[in-house]
Structure 1
């Protein structure tokens, strides 16, 4: 026990570094989403106020609405400026881009693997360490699946709402000039959203990622509960089966991603 205490503690230290890197990536992505959100509102707010005021000039009094939308737009611009200022300071002092943090995570995982191979752990111990890494893989798959679902739902909302809005706007014969440009912009947005949805296959990517995560979780739960196919009396054989099944699911997920990355003609040829 004494001889293994040092290596085990080192492995736990590497695991802590990996968890910290994963948390840093999660926080960094939230920060970047906030910057993108306030950038969008800072541009869309004043532009919407201008277009609506110009299109309803002398017909609808937009002053009550502008008294609410105007301060909100100014507040968005101020918050965006503050976030960009913090971003500039952070890049100068820490250089914490998402790519850099992901690189740190890969290096931490690689150091853990190299150390585990050098200390001469048994096959059973390596398989157990592999099992402990399953939870991190599940979180990554589910996070990516949620991201693709959000993107797909956003594009679908643009397509559905934009299609009805374009039809309604085009039904008016005497459409004022500003509304004609708005109709053109909506039609362009619908076409762009449909093109991105069809080309990048966001729904399929999210579905396969979620399916892989569910399958891996099913295998892990079956192992923890000792039910089929992990109801054997040999714990090492059950652990080996778990590692084999999970790795097979991960390889299958990579194959699906490669197929989705191929052009449509390439997928037909492969089929």
Structure 2
């Protein structure tokens, strides 16, 4: 059963994370607000200059069509209204409250840095025991397994789509070549299909989705095997609970490091891979 002290510690650390996530959301929103606040008037001015430039360069000495006048006027009116609306929100809290008005992004980022520093200091003071951290690590492992399998499915689907597109493109080249004589209008299709085959072949060799999918699935299966062994208390987890958790955390971290090394190796050119090996 979880002790009250441990529960309070968890709640405090969770609250710090919530505060940091809230500040990150406020920073994103404030950036969008500032972008609209200063970007919309600039677009309004550019629309007026475009209106004048179109009249002087495209319809110099002639009457500009009414539809073009109407389009420019509509764009300018919308931008002017949006600018006035945003300035009213920014400088009149009674009109509308969108949060953090008159607050700079730099101040919010400073608050975020201070919150993260406060969380780190409090985490050091409220850090649970090693056994509790190892038990918490074990509870997070299924999410890591799901992530690895999701990425594995993503790369496997990518590889299958590339291969099927490669198959159809190769077969289409032979069919179009046999069907059209003279080559027009099949010449353009042949050029496009040849380009597609070249791009897919190069992308498959560079990104290596099949190898990535295999490595991710293998790591996920191995981690899941260790989770099952720990739950059942079978080898190699046949010691005391504390020793089993320590061995489990060490083993899983080593497997994650090996997985990252394999990903980095796949990112290297072929010659670099041979040197690494």
Alignment of 1:54-65 (within 5 A): none
CA 1:4–1:263 in 2, change beyond 3 Å: closer, same or farther? same
Deviations 1:136-160 (A, max 9, x none): 2122211211111111111101111
Q: Is the 8 A contact 1:145 1:207 kept in 2?
A: yes
Query: Could you list the runs of 5+ residues in structure 2 that have no partner in the other structure?
Result: 21-97, 99-112
What is the CA–CA distance in structure 2 between the aligned matches of 1:130 and 1:112, rounded to whole Å? 19
For 2:256 and 2:148, the matched residues in 1 are separated by 10
Q: Secondary structure at the match of 1:171?
A: helix
Aligned partner (choices 2, 13, 31) of residue 4 of structure 2? 2
- The answer for the alignment partner of 1:72 in structure 2 is none
Residue 154 (1) aligns with residue 156 (2): no
Query: How many residue pairs get matched?
Result: 185
Cα deviation for residue 126 of structure 1 reads 1.1
Q: What's the offset of the Cα at 1:110? A: 10
- Label 1:264 to 1:109 Cα distance change in 2 as closer, same or farther (>3 A): farther
Work out which of the residue numbers 255, 267, 270 in structure 1 matches 2:273: 267
Aligned equivalents of 2:118, 2:168: Cα separation in 1: 50
Match of 1:252 among 237, 258, 275: 258
Give the Cα separation in 2 of the matches to 1:220 and 1:14: 30
CA distance change for structure 1 residues 184 and 266 in 2, over 3 Å: closer, same or farther?
same
- TM-score normalised by length of structure 2: 0.59
Specify whether residues 14 and 155 from structure 1 end up closer, same or farther in structure 2 by C-alpha distance, changes over 3 A only: farther
Displacement of 1:174? 0.9
The one of 164, 185, 188 equivalent to 1:181 is 188
CA distance in 2, matches of 1:111, 1:189: 53
Partners of 2:161 and 2:118 in 1: CA distance: 39
**Is contact 2:177-2:183 (8 Å) kept?**
no
Greater CA radius of gyration, 1 or 2? 2
- Superposed, 1:117-156 pairs within 5 Å as 117-156=124-163
